A and B are shown apart, each in its own frame.
Chain A
Amino acid sequence: MMPGPTHDLQTGAGLMACPRCDALHVEEELQPGETARCIRCGTVLARPRGGAFSQLIALAFTSMVLLLGAVFFPFLEISRMGFGNATSLFGVALAFADGILLPLVVAVLAMIVGLPVLRAFLLVYTLAPLAKGLPPHRHAATAFRWSEALRPWSMAEIFVIGTSVALVKVAGLATVHLGPAFWAFCALIVVNVASRGFMCQTTIWDAIEDAGLHTDGREMVEAPHP
């Protein structure tokens, strides 16, 4: 806990504004496991977890591996009256490949594979040096900001629910076999939920700042100079 005259109402140093309601708070260092909520609207401002960075990196790598598997293994297969058809994830996106629906191919691929992979990569790029105690990469702030901005657009979990709806619709029509890619996506949901639990944006921003990016002397933690 670091109370006292560390903040400055003229420059905003040592203060934090709630992103939801703009209420001003004095920044304090939290212990892992503590939760800071906005005094006015109750939004969680910070919720640091011990060892979160290495967990997040591990989970990001896991989701990259799962997504790679999901792309290259068969996704679903159906058969009826001697006719059969199998599809991969690419097949799903390419369902829109004719006529005016063509842009949807790119959009669907981005939402279910591209953005999840990109976000995992950006997170590793941001966190890997921080976890090792090194100064962050040059574009760490931009990378992490984009990773957060793209969060609503990466829709792997929605895709899984969509798959189950499609399976029920098709169940009366033909026999369905679930491929490894389907199970990879199910596992991805679990990984995403776990990653959400460890994610604390405020902690990561502070870590990026404390580890040496934008050293304008406004950091809460003083660098251990002798």
Chain B
Amino acid sequence: MSQVEPQGPVLTAHRAGLIGCRSCGRVWPDSEAACARCGAALVPPDRRGLQAVWAWWIAGLVMYIPANLFPMMRTQTFAGLQGNSEATILEGVLELIDHGSYDIAIIVFVASIIVPIAKFGSIAWLAMVAGRPASVDQAHARLKVFEVVEFVGRWSMIDVFVVAILSALVQLGFVASIHPGPAAASFALSVAFTMLSAQSFDPRLIWRGLPLQSQAGN
């Protein structure tokens, strides 16, 4: 596909007085409200959309607090004789390290502690710098961050699945049994809310802050 104006700054749909559909790419006059090809709502690339990002972001952060304070699962061995332990996310990781399974400890630590925190930080940063002036390189870096956040967000759900599988599987009556804790629900909600937050972020805002004279054009 060739550019409309190969010379000078890149012509965007917004600058041309048009509006592009984020779902299918079709371009419509600015006055249209919905894409007639795919039916998606047409949203102009402005900072108003960031309200939704922040709303989901706060919801996700609020749910992330109980997710870390309440136990993720409750393990009962020998009818409680050999210990009746409740483990939060962090305690679960420490337990794995105690058992010597460092590789799994790293997977769980990254998926349920590093990734969520990095995700909160990255989305907040993207939403704050969105629409601010940036060089082309900065814009590329921001888009990269956005793509990583978008890709990695759903993988935090691993922990919820692990709890579900363990609770369903380890039901050995007297010997051992595992039950899910309330943190599983708040963690799942936190992951879902941050996914929605990342999805509400409009990457076109990253590029709106570019200076009008692009280096490539001069």
Known: A158-B155, A170-B169. A24 touches B18 (CB 8 A): yes
* Most B-side CB within 10 Å, residue of A46, A101, A111: A101
Q: Whole-angstrom distance between the alpha carbons of A110 and B111 in the complex? A: 21
B67 contacts partner chain A, Cβ-Cβ < 8 Å: no
Q: Are A39 and B3 neighbours in the complex by a CB distance under 8 Å? A: yes
How many A-B Cβ pairs are below 8 Å? 248
From B11, B14, B37, A141 is in contact (CB under 8 Å) with B37
Q: Are B20 and A19 neighbours in the complex by a CB distance under 8 Å? A: yes
B160 contacts partner chain A, Cβ-Cβ < 8 Å: yes
Interface size class of A (residues with CB under 8 A): 35 or more
Interface string of B183-218 (1 = CB under 8 A from A): 011001000100100010001101110000000000
A201 contacts partner chain B, Cβ-Cβ < 8 Å: yes
Residues of A within 8 A of B81 (CB): none
Q: Are B171 and A85 neighbours in the complex by a CB distance under 8 Å? A: yes
Chain A residues near B (Cβ < 8 Å): 3, 7, 9-13, 15-28, 36, 39-42, 45-46, 76, 78, 80-81, 83-85, 87, 91-96, 99-101, 103-104, 107-108, 111-112, 141-142, 144-145, 148-149, 152-153, 155, 158-159, 161-163, 165-166, 168-170, 172-174, 176, 201-202, 205, 208-209, 213-214, 216
- Number of B residues with CB within 8 Å of any CB on chain A: 75
Q: List 19 A-B contacts (CB under 8 A).
A: A16-B1, A17-B13, A19-B22, A21-B203, A23-B3, A23-B11, A36-B1, A78-B170, A92-B164, A92-B168, A104-B160, A104-B185, A112-B161, A141-B39, A158-B161, A162-B160, A162-B165, A166-B162, A168-B101
Q: Whole-angstrom distance between the alpha carbons of A85 and B22 in the complex? A: 48
